[in-house]
């Protein structure tokens, strides 16, 4: 699948002004969902449609959600503003696209050497993350929910092998969010392109490498046609959360039972989306290696060490930022520090023991 027109022009555009406010016909709310993805793009596009359908279902049809893919009503990178301003009712995207709004927002998506998908939910539910998420987004007229996660993303597609941290200097690389800030500190020339634009830039030679999501979605875009070196671990995004944000006025106008339906739709999809990614990533990687000549590599130890140092510098800057960003960063770091040691004996311990026993 080609994604040539994904996330193109900044701003909302003329089409957004024509989107009507929420309409009520025979006590049915007609909600417009805008997304950062083409319709049915494997991974996030599929998840967006599931969310639209589930809100309609769990509301008993009292909220009818019509989904518009990137560029149909607004550009993919205009969905935040469209919903904030009330020209659409809700969007599906990822928080890492909104760093220009507030640095604090980036922490709700993924963090270099940060939280896994399940840990992210732990922070949101039991570490104060959701309260901070609500506080930050309320300043933009939005009510946010996490509604999925891609799991650990990959370090990216490279035209040439990477043998040391020195090889990263000057490398023209696509990334987003806090991972892009980490890469910049490593001397990389980072470009925040859409997934489709990344394909075009790799094809033309304007990029040397880039990361998007993982094997399932990446294979659909077609990066394996151009770059054959695929690197792990994607420590820049150990768990990339997808989000739904509802216009705050639309949200507050809902009765309690419909608020519960919207919340349940988002929360019920999180694990479903995560496990779909996990399963299809595994299948897609096998096919990429067997059918497309893709070479899978682990990042060298000195690259990982350099990334850890760079990530620390990124967090120091966040802690020195505005009060909101400092507060969110402190909350994330406290939860990460709490959970990290336990996970060595828990999930990591079990996964590593299994791998050793199986010889994989």
Task: From 130, 124, 120, select the one nearest 343 (Cα to Cα).
Answer: 120
Task: From 312, 307, 347, select the one nearest 156 (Cα to Cα).
Answer: 307
pTM beyond 0.85: the answer is: yes
- 210-231 pLDDT per residue, tens: 999 999 999 999 999 999 999 9
- 232-286 pLDDT per residue, tens: 999 999 999 999 999 999 999 999 999 999 999 999 999 999 999 999 999 999 9
Residue 12 has pLDDT above 60, yes or no: no
Question: Which pLDDT value is given to residue 288?
Answer: 98
Residue 20 has pLDDT above 70, yes or no: no
Question: Which pLDDT value is given to residue 7?
Answer: 35
Angle at 124 between CA 118 and CA 128, to 5 degrees: 140
- 68-88 pLDDT per residue, tens: 999 999 999 999 999 999 999
Check: CB of residue 1 under 8 Å from CB of residue 42. Answer: yes
Angle at 234 between CA 229 and CA 238, to 5 degrees: 160
Structural domains of the chain, with CATH: 14-151+239-279 (3.40.190.170)
Element counts in the chain: helices (H) and strands (E): 14, 12
State yes or no: 68 annotated in a binding site. Answer: no
- Cα dist. 215→198, 218, 243, 290, 293 in Å? 15, 5, 21, 13, 14
> Does a cis peptide bond (omega within 30 degrees of 0) precede residue 358?
no
Task: From 59, 65, 61, select the one nearest 31 (Cα to Cα).
Answer: 65
- From CA 145, how far away is CA 10, in angstroms rounded? 24
- 122-175 pLDDT per residue, tens: 999 999 999 999 999 999 999 999 999 999 999 999 999 999 999 999 999 999
For residues 256 and 22, the model is more confident at: 256
Residue 294 has pLDDT above 70, yes or no: yes
Query: How far from chain centre, in Å, is Cα 102?
Result: 16
3-state secondary structure of 208: coil
State yes or no: 174 annotated in a binding site. Answer: yes
Task: From 163, 147, 116, select the one nearest 47 (Cα to Cα).
Answer: 147
State yes or no: 211 annotated in a binding site. Answer: yes
3-state secondary structure of 127: coil
Residue 8 has pLDDT above 70, yes or no: no
DSSP state of 293: -
Residue 104 has pLDDT above 50, yes or no: yes
Question: Which pLDDT value is given to residue 27?
Answer: 85
Task: From 124, 58, 60, 55, select the one nearest 90 (Cα to Cα).
Answer: 55
Task: From 74, 89, 6, 80, select the one nearest 40 (Cα to Cα).
Answer: 6
Where are the strands (E) in the chain, listed by range? 23-25, 28-35, 63-68, 90-93, 142-149, 156-158, 172-174, 189-191, 209-210, 229-232, 241-247, 295-298
- From CA 194, how far away is CA 198, in angstroms rounded? 6
Residue partners of 34: CB distance under 8 A and separation at least 6: 68, 72, 73, 74, 78, 79, 82, 83, 88, 90, 91, 92
């Amino acid at each position: 699948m080609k994604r040539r027109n994904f996330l193109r022009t900044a701003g909302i555009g003329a089409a957004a002004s024509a989107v009507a406010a929420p309409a009520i016909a025979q006590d049915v709310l007609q909600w417009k969902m805008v997304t950062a993805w083409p319709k049915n793009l494997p991974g996030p596009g599929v998840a967006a449609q599931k969310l639209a359908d589930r809100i309609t279902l769990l509301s008993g049809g009292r909220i009818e959600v019509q989904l518009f893919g990137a560029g149909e009503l607004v550009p993919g990178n205009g969905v935040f503003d469209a919903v904030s301003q009330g020209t659409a009712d809700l969007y599906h995207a990822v928080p890492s696209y909104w760093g220009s709004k507030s640095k604090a927002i980036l922490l709700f998506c993924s963090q270099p050497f940060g939280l896994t998908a399940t840990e992210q939910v732990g922070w949101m539910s039991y570490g104060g993350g959701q309260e901070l998420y609500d506080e930050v987004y309320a300043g933009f007229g939005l009510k946010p929910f996490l509604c999925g996660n891609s799991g650990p993303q990959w370090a990216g597609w490279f035209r040439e092998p990477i043998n040391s941290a020195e090889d990263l200097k000057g490398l023209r690389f696509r990334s987003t969010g806090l991972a892009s800030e980490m890469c910049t500190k490593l001397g990389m020339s980072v470009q925040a392109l859409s997934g489709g634009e990344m394909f075009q830039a790799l094809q033309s030679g304007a990029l040397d490498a880039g990361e998007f999501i993982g094997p399932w979605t990446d294979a659909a875009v077609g990066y394996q046609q151009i770059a054959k070196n695929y690197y792990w671990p994607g420590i820049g995004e150990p768990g990339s959360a997808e989000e739904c944000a509802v216009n705050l006025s639309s949200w507050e106008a809902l009765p309690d039972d419909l608020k519960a339906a919207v919340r349940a739709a988002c929360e019920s999809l999180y694990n479903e989306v995560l496990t779909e990614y996990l399963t299809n990533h595994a299948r897609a990687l096998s096919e990429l290696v067997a059918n497309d000549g893709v070479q899978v590599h682990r990042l060298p130890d000195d690259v990982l060490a350099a990334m850890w140092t760079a990530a620390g510098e990124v967090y120091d800057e966040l802690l020195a930022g505005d009060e909101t960003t400092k507060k969110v960063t402190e909350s994330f770091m406290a939860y990460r520090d709490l959970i990290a040691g336990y996970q060595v004996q828990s999930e990591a311990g079990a996964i590593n023991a299994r791998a050793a026993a199986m010889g994989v």
